Amino acid sequence: MKIHFLLALAGLAIWFAFPVVAQQTADPKTIEQFDEFNKKFDEAFNNNDAAAVAAFFTEDAVQVTPEGPIYGQEAIEKHFANLFTQIHVSEHINKTDRPPHPIGTAGNEVWRNGEWSFTLQGKSGGPIQLKGYWSAINVREGDDWKIRMLTYNLTPAEAK
Amino acid sequence: MKIRLLFALVGLAIWFAVPSFAQQKEPTPSEQDRQHLDAHVKKSDEAWNNNDAAALAATFTEDAANVTNKGPIYGREAIEKRYADLFKHFHVSNHLNTVDEEWSNGDATDIAPVVIEGLPVKVISSGKSYKVFEQYPWEGHSSNYGPKGNRLNSSYGVGLGKNISSALLLRHGDWIHMPDIGWRQINEFANKKDSIEFFARYRDEYKSKHPRITIDMVVFALPSEKDAKDKRDEYKRKHPRITIDSAIKPES
């Protein structure tokens, strides 16, 4: 009886321990969730909808731009609202380079990286295509994934 | 004996399982975490300033990704190779990584103190401020001046008015530092003689914050024309005539 109990306890403990060792990349469900996440993120950009873009960030998010960091969802929304009054964004494509990497073992936090590109139309000129690379830390909030930190850069344009 | 083995197995499994439970809670940085991060930042700065690729790579995890503006570099080994290559071409000094008050996110002055061939930063105080102009992405401008491939860039490039260049003896390729903006490399002539031109992503991105700015430090990235001429003359003096003792013909 004692042996059975200990075996069960060992099994349970190993079951809990397993994710610590095994989780080097996210599970298929998480990968699928991020495919959907990227699609919706692109849609928000292509609709030039600052509130929708900002909704992808957590309240305390940081967006690290080449010009410096922007702190908080509200400031990020303001930044995009200002941007979308100056330019029109289309063909925003956000690609993830590799599957999300879990941070820790709880399954509620991942880091990802990838590339971005979009077409920009200014009031007095364009269109021009911009591209670059990004890295992000995402956290789970309820059923959704949100961006806690997004760092992006801009690939210098090639000389004409 | 069997029971002892099982106890050991249970103990081992629980030891592995503990982090699973412990990390359910939202992590908040403790004083110890901060100290570790400060030490990490210091170590990284030291590695940069020693131009030590291996030490710098050691601050990354085995499976790290270094996201550059030319694309990601995966794995510590590849990151070390990249820095080793970089340090062959550049000497880096005064590397300073500062962490913002918010945890773990910081401003790095990676670009700034890349002092080419060991040329030092010169602190200047002209006491003058200059008007800011902006160039926008949709203008699609590419410069005819300066180094090949020259173009203003939101990350590092600025255009400098000719009067400022003359007053401070600055040329394309040199770096200027502006308070609240940081280091930028001169790779354009600005349209106005007394102005500095920035690449802005939208109207008034810079002008709203900095209608006028000052320059407080410069780095002369290239030797002056006089230095270059002296070097050429010295070479001529040492080798008035030379011979060719071997040649390699590349395969076509």
pLDDT at B192 over 60: yes
The stretch B115-124 carries a mean pLDDT of 52
Q: What is the pLDDT of residue A126?
A: 67
CATH topology of domain B116-228: Barwin-like endoglucanases (2.40.40)
In a domain, A40, yes or no: yes
- What span, in angstroms and rounded, lies between the C-alpha atoms of B179 and B125? 12
- What span, in angstroms and rounded, lies between the C-alpha atoms of B152 and B200? 9
In a domain, A91, yes or no: yes
Name the pairing type of β-strands A87-96 and A68-71: unpaired
Q: What is the pLDDT of residue B223?
A: 57
B69 and A19 within 8 Å at the Cβ level: the answer is no
Q: What is the pLDDT of residue B24?
A: 41
CB pairs under 8 A between A and B: 135
B138 and A127 within 8 Å at the Cβ level: the answer is yes
A87 and B138 within 8 Å at the Cβ level: the answer is yes
Which of B75-79, B83-87, B231-235 has the lowest average pLDDT? B231-235
Of A106, A134, A149, the CB nearest to B67: A134
Q: Is A71 on the interface with B (CB under 8 A)?
A: yes
DSSP A49: -
Write the ipTM: 0.77
Q: Is A160 on the interface with B (CB under 8 A)?
A: yes
Q: What is the pLDDT of residue A150?
A: 95
Weakly modelled stretches of chain A, pLDDT under 70? 1-24, 123-126, 157-160
Q: What is the pLDDT of residue A93?
A: 93
- What span, in angstroms and rounded, lies between the C-alpha atoms of B80 and A48? 40
B142 and A160 within 8 Å at the Cβ level: the answer is yes
CA B136, B112, A97, B36 torsion-angle sign: negative
A3 and B6 within 8 Å at the Cβ level: the answer is yes
**Domain extent at residue A79:** 27-152
DSSP B138: G
B43-46: long-range contacts, CB 8 A cutoff, minimum separation 24: B44/B97, B45/B95, B45/B96, B45/B97
Rg of chain A in Å (alpha carbons): 20
In a domain, A107, yes or no: yes
CATH topology of domain B33-108: Nuclear Transport Factor 2; Chain: A, (3.10.450)
Closest-CA residue in chain B for A107?
A: B24
Q: What is the pLDDT of residue B189?
A: 79
Q: What is the pLDDT of residue B169?
A: 78
Work out the percent of chain B whose per-residue pLDDT is above 70: 64
- What span, in angstroms and rounded, lies between the C-alpha atoms of B210 and B179? 10
Of B69, B140, B201, the CB nearest to A153: B69
Of A2, A19, A157, the CB nearest to B151: A157
Collapsing DSSP to helix, strand or coil, B128 comes out as coil
Of A17, A83, A101, the CB nearest to B17: A17
Closest-CA residue in chain B for A9?
A: B10
Q: If pLDDT is split at 50, 70 and 90, which confidence band does B34 have?
A: confident
- What span, in angstroms and rounded, lies between the C-alpha atoms of B40 and B59? 7
Q: If pLDDT is split at 50, 70 and 90, which confidence band does B104 have?
A: very low
Instruction: Write down the domain spans for chain B.
Output: 33-108, 116-228
The stretch B84-104 carries a mean pLDDT of 71
Q: What is the pLDDT of residue B106?
A: 40
Name B201's bridge partners: none
pLDDT at B135 over 60: yes
Q: What is the pLDDT of residue B246?
A: 74
In a domain, A37, yes or no: yes
Q: If pLDDT is split at 50, 70 and 90, which confidence band does B60 have?
A: very high
- What span, in angstroms and rounded, lies between the C-alpha atoms of B161 and B194? 5
pLDDT at B49 over 80: yes
Does this model's pTM top 0.80?
no
Q: What is the pLDDT of residue B12?
A: 46
In a domain, A10, yes or no: no
- What span, in angstroms and rounded, lies between the C-alpha atoms of B77 and A51? 41
- What span, in angstroms and rounded, lies between the C-alpha atoms of A62 and B69? 19
Rg of chain B in Å (alpha carbons): 26
- What span, in angstroms and rounded, lies between the C-alpha atoms of A92 and A94? 7
Contacts with B142 from chain A: Cβ below 8 Å = 157, 159-160
In a domain, A1, yes or no: no
Q: What is the pLDDT of residue B226?
A: 64
Q: Are B131 and B195 in contact (CB under 8 A)?
A: yes
Q: What is the pLDDT of residue A148?
A: 94
Q: What is the pLDDT of residue A39?
A: 94
For residue A2, give the H/E element and its range.
helix A2-22
A20 and B16 within 8 Å at the Cβ level: the answer is yes
Q: Are A76 and A63 in contact (CB under 8 A)?
A: yes
Burial label, A71 (beta-carbon count in 10 A; 0-12, 13-18, 19+) = middle
Collapsing DSSP to helix, strand or coil, B236 comes out as helix
The stretch B147-174 carries a mean pLDDT of 71
CA distances from A68 to A71, A113, A142, B72, B122 (A): 10, 19, 30, 20, 25
Position with higher pLDDT, B157 vs B39: B39
For chain A, what is the domain count?
A: 1
Q: What is the pLDDT of residue B139?
A: 65
Whichever domain contains A135, its CATH number is 3.10.450.50
- What span, in angstroms and rounded, lies between the C-alpha atoms of B213 and B220? 20
Using alpha carbons, select from B132, B209, B143 the residue that is nearest to residue B176. Answer: B132
Q: Are B135 and B197 in contact (CB under 8 A)?
A: yes
pLDDT at B18 over 80: no
Q: If pLDDT is split at 50, 70 and 90, which confidence band does B218 have?
A: confident
B10 and A6 within 8 Å at the Cβ level: the answer is yes
Q: Is A8 on the interface with B (CB under 8 A)?
A: no
Mean pLDDT of chain B: 72
- What span, in angstroms and rounded, lies between the C-alpha atoms of A134 and A52? 19
